[in-house]
Chain A
Amino acid sequence: AQSVSQHNHHVILSEAASLELGCNYSYGGTVNLFWYVQYPGQHLQLLLKYFSGDPLVKGIKGFEAEFIKSKFSFNLRKPSVQWSDTAEYFCAVNTLYSGAGSYQLTFGKGTKLSVIP
């Protein structure tokens, strides 16, 4: 079974600092990759996704992520964080194979980001 590792449990940054959150997955086949964000008290929402093509994908609110197949990684980045980016971030992998199991997402354990004004 595939697994997703997020390296940092809690990251604390000052406003305007740059952000990089690590995500590695274990599956060797074709994957779809996602970053979800959960702001305090709100539901989980999609930040960005990778399916194919350009490995550098851009999402909402200035976030981007780079898919590096050789490293099985999909790290999330933002050049300059704001206090409003305080949230929990989840990396997820959807593996492509036949059968009902192909609809599943496997999530990492999440990284809490706290941005200090």
Chain B
Amino acid sequence: DVKVTQSSRYLVKRTGEKVFLECVQDMDHENMFWYRQDPGLGLRLIYFSYDVKMKEKGDIPEGYSVSREKKERFSLILESASTNQTSMYLCASSSVYYSYEQYFGPGTRLTVT
């Protein structure tokens, strides 16, 4: 079974702090994704990566950056956290060879106070 893990289930940070969310997948998938999930808005893509050191902006990249130094790890960085970044963050991965189906991690619920 594909496993996608995220470093924290719950995180509380203060406004202005730099925040790192980590995601690791164990299936050698080429693609990795970061979404945020908000009630009534569904999942919105922040960034994705299709290869090491490669990244593409999603629909809502403002205020976020990403890093992918190793194939299995994809980090989401909030340079200066703000209260409107309070949300559930989901990481996902997929293989280019098997139907582009995405596998999701358990999510990190981030609260910025």
A9 to B101, CA, bound (A): 24
For the complex with contacts A42-B106, A49-B99, 16 further pairs of A-B residues with Cβ separation under 8 Å are A43-B104, A44-B104, A45-B104, A46-B101, A100-B50, A102-B100, A103-B31, A103-B50, A103-B100, A104-B48, A104-B58, A105-B45, A107-B44, A108-B42, A109-B40, A109-B42
Tell me if A's interface is mostly helix, strand, loop or mixed.
mixed
Interface residues on B, range: 20 to 34
Tell me if B's interface is mostly helix, strand, loop or mixed.
strand
Q: Mark A81-103, 1 if CB is under 8 A from B, else 0.
A: 00000000010001000001111
Chain A residues within 8 Å of B50, by CB: 100, 103
How many residue pairs at the A-B interface have CB separations less than 8 Å? 55
Chain A: residues with Cβ within 8 Å of the partner, total of 25
Q: Name the one of A45, A103, A109 contacting B48, with C-beta atoms under 8 angstroms.
A: A103
- How many Å from the CB of B24 to the closest CB on chain A? 14
18 contacts between A and B (CB under 8 A): A32-B100, A34-B101, A42-B106, A43-B105, A43-B107, A44-B90, A45-B104, A46-B101, A51-B99, A100-B48, A103-B96, A104-B45, A104-B58, A105-B102, A107-B42, A107-B43, A107-B44, A109-B42
